[in-house]
Chain A
Amino acid sequence: MRLKPGLIVLALLAFVPTASHASPQEASKFVQSVGDEAFAIIKDGSLDKDTKQKKLERVFAKSVDIPWVGKFVLGRYWRQASEQQRNRYVDEYRSFIITHYTSRFAKYSGGDFKITGSKPDGNGQYVVSMEITPPKEDQPILVDYRVHPGKNGLQIFDVIVEGVSMITTQRSEFNSVLANKGIDGLISQLAKKSDSAEKSGS
């Protein structure tokens, strides 16, 4: 086989990292550090449930690209929304999604995780695979984190649990509400959910 110099240059170029692109190792390290931080809080026996939740909320808010996810789950309705609707939605979505996810983890007090792989996924994105073993279980749960460069370094933009993508599921849920009640209906439902979550303390 005759080697084509053009092809070689092309192949080399593919491996040249550009400024905004991290490496699979960095992506894996990032997810590892988020996991370490979260599990340290979960396992800290000296914290009560409310403090646990507050600390987990801070970890979630800085490691997840909430503005991007918020836009994605709105789908085509984002373009149809007015400036004022968008602002109200972004605010409500932020508090909704933070309580929604952290309240699930504040209940736990143990468990372990292990990163099993990290690979590039185009556009500077990475998929970092993890096995989480909940307390008292022997079958690990397979979780993939999709990661991309955000404003301050890498951020998570999707969590895929056993093949189920959180952002895809939430977009289906939101689009169904949007089709029936419009964006104002969705915003008020989000506000109601956040309120009841705060009152019940869960």
Chain B
Amino acid sequence: MTRRITHHVAKLAAALLISASLSGCAQAPAGSTDVDPAEGFNRGMFRVHQAIDGAVLRPVTYVYRGVVPEFGRDMVDNFVTNLSTPVVAANSFLQLDADRGFVAFWRFIINSTVGIGGLFDVASEAGLKKFDNDFGLTMARYGADSGAYLFLPVLGPTSPRDLVGRVADMFMDPFNYYDEGATMVRGGLTALNTRSEKYELLEDINNNSLDPYATIRSGYTQSRDAEVRKVRGQKPALKPMNTSAE
């Protein structure tokens, strides 16, 4: 078992190295979402993920959605979102976006107090809308390219840059220094909440796509690209298209 894990870690490290080194030369034609130098590795990991998802993540989420009523799931969502808000604020400030940094800051203060420890998102009703931010985007803001597309079991679609970003976010998070048991519980709740938020989307893709792997890659690449453009202050990428010809 340990040998197999080491094997996987070695494979992952190799894929990271390969994708990092390829990212420089394998420039995507503008707007293409099909550039995937680590596709063989990724598809293997995708199969592993689909097996884990089918056996554990999806059934657990299915039961969660059946047993816990919507207002309860909203509270879980608000709670884990609130715990991640200091990291969102920190990254916004690192991106020199003080406006959004203060939105996140006040969201955390208001929801932690008036919102009873983050169970209620009262800040949203006061006009301080929820948004996401992470260190992957902070690196992108200062020019880091994503590197090659990666798919990892449980973590899902990502890239070398965003994987580094996730680790940095973990170190940045004050709550991760609090208590190991509490961190584990929070991690579990966050994973459950994330899978539950994506439930309908993933049902749709798994039932309707001719190639779920390619659909997820394309969708993720485009939506991440849109987020990166936003923090870089660029306009959305709309490919000029000559639709009258042919």
Contact = CB atoms under 8 A, between A and B. Distances in A.
B225 A173 contact: no
At the interface, is chain A mostly helix, strand, loop or mixed?
mixed
Given A71-B246, A174-B210, A193-B208, A164 B219 contact: yes
A27 interface: no
Contact of B214 (A104, A122, A173, A189): A173
Contacts of B219: 164, 169
A136 B204 CA distance: 20
A163 B226 contact: yes
A169 B222 contact: yes
Interface in A117-139: 121-125, 127, 136, 138-139
B74 to A, nearest CB: 10
B210 A163 contact: no
B202 to A, nearest CB: 14
A42 B125 CA distance: 28
Nearest to B240: A122
B33 A172 contact: yes
Contact of A172 (B217, B223, B238, B240): B217
B183 to A, nearest CB: 28
Instruction: Indicate the size class of the contact surface on chain B.
Output: 20 to 34
Interface in B5-53: 31, 33-34
Contacts of B124: 138
B175 interface: no
B232 interface: no
Interface of A: 65, 68, 71, 100, 104, 121-125, 127, 136, 138-139, 144, 146, 148-149, 157, 160, 162-165, 168-169, 171-177, 186, 189-190, 193
Interface of B: 31, 33-34, 70, 124, 129-130, 204, 208-211, 213-215, 217-219, 222-223, 225-227, 236, 238, 240-244, 246
